[in-house]
């Protein structure tokens, strides 16, 4: 259910019918702005089993799987450009945690923005998923990229608890699945099926440091660093005459001096590359087949570091030069009667790193993860699901479930059965 509100209705006394809000705000509000309240709930009861090779541990939990509620508005600015109205847009989105209070207490802690949009595309100041994350997840992850069965268990990280970075003043450098604060981001218009996005942010890590003046104590002395992230992706999508859908994408993300500030390094230069594709074939009568795949390469180059928090890499550094490739396949089969079957499989290679590069070992640092799910969609859209997820770590690896990890140890394997319900509002 979406509820339209007239006026600036962030002062919420939410009822089940449209509400006429009193004009407010710094300059009295705007009676011409229309507000939408939206939400997504995806909850599961999960049975988790840990196996470290000598002992099994079991636990149960309820997981909210990125359940959220948001408020959005769009207003015509009165300016036309290229035959299209220019609009100003606002969005404030946050997690809805009913249990496991874990720090996301700030308002607008998910995708939130103020932006201008028109024939030129959209430019925003925001806290948002970066293009290297968002322009792939919905096309290659049939499990919504929202919970333990997310592709982020292997893709975009090298293990050690850095599968996904949500928000915060300054986030883990080695994670490439990111929702990043304080970004400037551009969404292009659609050029005959081609779209692209670009986002950037820099950061000050102390109250006294301005951007470009982060004073860091390193293994060799002190440095002034200017950490910055660049993220971009290009995609092409086309609906074929047969009714099928074809999609390809390529992405690049660069973390310049981001790790250096966090880990006390003289310099750091981290990069990630992705190539992906998906094809959906329509069989008729509501039946369809989705098959997709993605390859990625991660590169970490750190110099003069005080600490290096990457699994199988020696703490105390001072230097590392590490690379790792990974790939995945995924799919979804719908049967036209409300039932569908989904799967994903991921494989992370061993680290490409030698002792001279700062590694204690580069062997047995790979991991595998796979997910299976059966879904039933009721006539009004509510989904019921049962899923099975498993992560197998080599003896020196430390991969976890994707979003909502359970804290695996080095070399520990985990598996999970989950019963869930999904609803859009």
**75-to-5, 43, 111, 152, 349 alpha-carbon distances in Å:** 13, 34, 19, 36, 48
- pLDDT at res. 96: 86
- In the prediction, which pLDDT does 34 show? 79
Low-confidence ranges of the chain (pLDDT < 70): 1-32, 98-105, 161-164, 166-169, 204-213, 311-312, 314-317, 355
pTM above 0.85, yes or no: yes
Interatomic CA distance for residues 110 and 93, integer angstroms:
5
State residue 315's pLDDT score: 55
Which DSSP category does 101 fall into?
-
- Asked if 296 contacts 274 with a C-beta cutoff of 8 angstroms, the reply is yes
pLDDT tens for each residue of 87-117: 999 999 998 876 555 555 678 889 999 999 9
User: SS3 of 260, please?
Assistant: helix
Contact status, residue 313 vs residue 270, Cβ threshold 8 Å:
no
Distance CA 320, CA 317 (A): 7
Quick one: how many helices (H) and strands (E) in the chain? Answer: 2, 21
Tokens of residue 28, six digits: 């009295």
pLDDT recorded at residue 208: 42
- pLDDT at 8 (0 to 100): 34
Query: What was the pLDDT predicted at 263?
Result: 82
Specify the pLDDT at position 99. 56
Dmax over CA atoms of the chain, in Å, equals 68
- Tokens 């594709």 -> residue: 277
């Amino acid at each position: 259910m979406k509820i339209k509100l007239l006026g600036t209705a962030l002062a919420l006394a939410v009822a089940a019918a449209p509400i006429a809000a009193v004009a407010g705000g710094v300059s009295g509000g705007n009676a011409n702005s229309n507000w939408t309240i939206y939400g997504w709930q995806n909850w599961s009861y999960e049975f988790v089993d840990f196996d470290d090779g000598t002992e099994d541990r079991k636990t149960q939990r309820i997981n909210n799987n990125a359940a959220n509620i948001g408020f959005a508005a769009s207003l015509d600015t009165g300016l036309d450009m290229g035959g299209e109205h220019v609009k100003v847009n606002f969005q404030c989105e946050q997690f809805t945690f009913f249990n496991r209070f874990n720090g996301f207490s700030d308002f607008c802690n998910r995708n939130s923005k103020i932006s201008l949009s028109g024939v030129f595309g959209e430019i925003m100041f925001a806290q948002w998923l970066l293009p290297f994350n968002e322009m792939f997840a919905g096309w290659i992850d049939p499990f919504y990229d929202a919970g333990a069965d997310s592709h982020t268990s292997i893709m975009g990280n090298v293990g050690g608890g850095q599968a996904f970075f949500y928000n915060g003043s300054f986030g883990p450098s080695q994670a490439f699945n990111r929702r990043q604060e304080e970004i400037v981001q551009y969404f292009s218009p659609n050029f005959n099926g081609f779209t692209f996005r670009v986002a950037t942010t820099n950061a000050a890590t102390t109250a006294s440091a301005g951007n470009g003046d982060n004073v860091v104590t390193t293994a060799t002395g002190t440095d002034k660093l200017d950490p910055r992230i660049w993220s971009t992706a290009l995609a092409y999508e086309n609906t074929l005459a047969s009714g099928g859908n074809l999609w390809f994408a390529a992405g690049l993300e660069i973390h310049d001096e981001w790790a250096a500030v966090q880990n006390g390094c003289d310099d750091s230069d981290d990069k990630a590359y992705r190539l992906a594709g998906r094809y959906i074939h329509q069989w008729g009568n509501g039946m369809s087949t989705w098959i997709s795949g993605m390859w990625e390469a991660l590169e970490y180059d750190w110099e003069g570091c005080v600490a290096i928090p990457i699994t199988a890499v020696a703490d105390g550094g001072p230097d590392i030069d590490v690379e790792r490739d990974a790939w995945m396949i995924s799919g979804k089969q719908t049967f036209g009667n409300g039932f569908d079957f989904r799967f994903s499989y991921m494989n992370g290679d061993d680290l490409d790193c030698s002792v001279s590069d700062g590694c204690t070992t580069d062997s047995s640092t790979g991991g595998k993860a796979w997910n299976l799910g059966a879904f039933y969609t009721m006539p009004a859209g509510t989904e019921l699901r049962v899923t099975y997820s498993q992560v197998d770590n080599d003896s020196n690896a430390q991969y976890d479930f994707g979003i909502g990890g359970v804290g695996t140890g080095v070399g520990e394997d985990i598996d999970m059965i989950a019963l869930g319900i999904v609803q859009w509002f």
